[in-house]
Chain A
Amino acid sequence: MKHNLDKLSAIFNRYPQNRESLIAVLQDIQKEYHYLPEEALQATAKTLDVPLSKVFSVATFYNAFSHYPRGEKIIRICVGTTCHIRGAHLVQEQLENRLNIKAGSTTKDLKYTLETVNCVGACSQAPVVIVNNKYYGHVKVSDAKKLLRSK
């Protein structure tokens, strides 16, 4: 996949170009592209003068970094114990059917990524669904459409 790498130089310019900036730069790349494109990792290694192997090591260490393209809208369904008991799997099924993908993947048009998470610490609101870091509590199966359309 070809990317508009122009945005990279803006990211690099935000930080001193040395190895201390590695994680900050990777975070900004993740924010911009929703994942870490290969070319971006290569450019990062070059710009910060850090071996590519080290960049890859750090980038794969943290779960906050993704290595596959992710959707514009990231929907995370909590399937922790409480949410599970309160029907999270039904919500999951509904969302999977509507998007025609399984949890853990991204729609072809890169609009949605569906993921599951384990307990987000909001059990009193169970079942919980998080859309781009916005939390929705007491979710019902019939809310699926609303969730997909939410900003």
Chain B
Amino acid sequence: MVNLTINGRIVQAKEGEMLLTVLRREKIDVPALCHHEAVEPFGACRLCTVEITKEDWNGYSNYVTSCLYPVEEGLIVSTHSPKVNELRKTILDLFLARHPNSPEIRQLAADYGVFKTSYETVVDGNNCILCAICTRICDTMGFHAISTVGRGHGKEVAPPLHQVPPDCVGCLACALNCPTHYIEYTFDNNYLTIWDKKFELMVCSRCGKKTITKEFAEYLSKHRDIPFSYFEICDECHRKELAATMGQITSWEREA
């Protein structure tokens, strides 16, 4: 166990834990756009920056990204000191210049009192903040269907060769975890389209509701050892069935 002080309060943490994990557990609200529990910390957005110091630092302090900073004994952390807020404001100002049309960015910036960027706005910009949660999650899922492409100004998230991604199964993990909802997908009758790839959806054999894509079901049954027939019934019907089965068991127990 490690003891640290956060905003004047003494808090315990596990050795090796990242500061942001502790902040989240303590319900301290620090913005963090490139952080996701499912993937390694990345340090791309810089918004989770906090001020740290120690008793013997002679009044000096340092600014670190809390998502990437392991807890230390005796650490004194301020998450909203005037200097931290100022730093965060500048970062949000820059974000706003690049993504002026993103509702999420605008909201976050407004929370810090930034309503208009003081930089030149990127006119042909999009809402991708390059946090790479999508590509990292896709890797975690085991598909490796998309990646970042290029670098510097031209960097973007794209499927290989800018073509329909052969390894995508339409799991939607990228789109649903995108902090700015940049990745588009559409449902159309029995089909889901994402990254220009069209997937047939499974249909529940009981209630007719559409569930996951066929490719995703096939992948899960092959690599996660779940019988394919499991995916022919939707979650809700599975649960209804479970209730029925439980009722059956109870009545047998009563009879016995």
Contact = CB atoms under 8 A, between A and B. Distances in A.
B150 A53 contact: no
Given A51-B167, A53-B144, A41 B161 contact: yes
Contacts of B242: none
- B interface: dominant SS: loop
B128 to A, nearest CB: 15
B160 interface: yes
B90 to A, nearest CB: 28
A96 to B, nearest CB: 25
A52 B148 CA distance: 12
Contacts of B166: 52
A52 B149 contact: no
- A interface: dominant SS: helix
B147 A54 contact: yes
A56 B151 contact: no
Interface residues of B, number: 16
A52 B143 CA distance: 10
Interface string A53-84: 11111001100000000000000000000000
A34 to B, nearest CB: 18
A38 interface: yes
Contacts of A51: 144, 147, 160, 167
Interface of B: 135, 138, 144-151, 159-161, 165-167
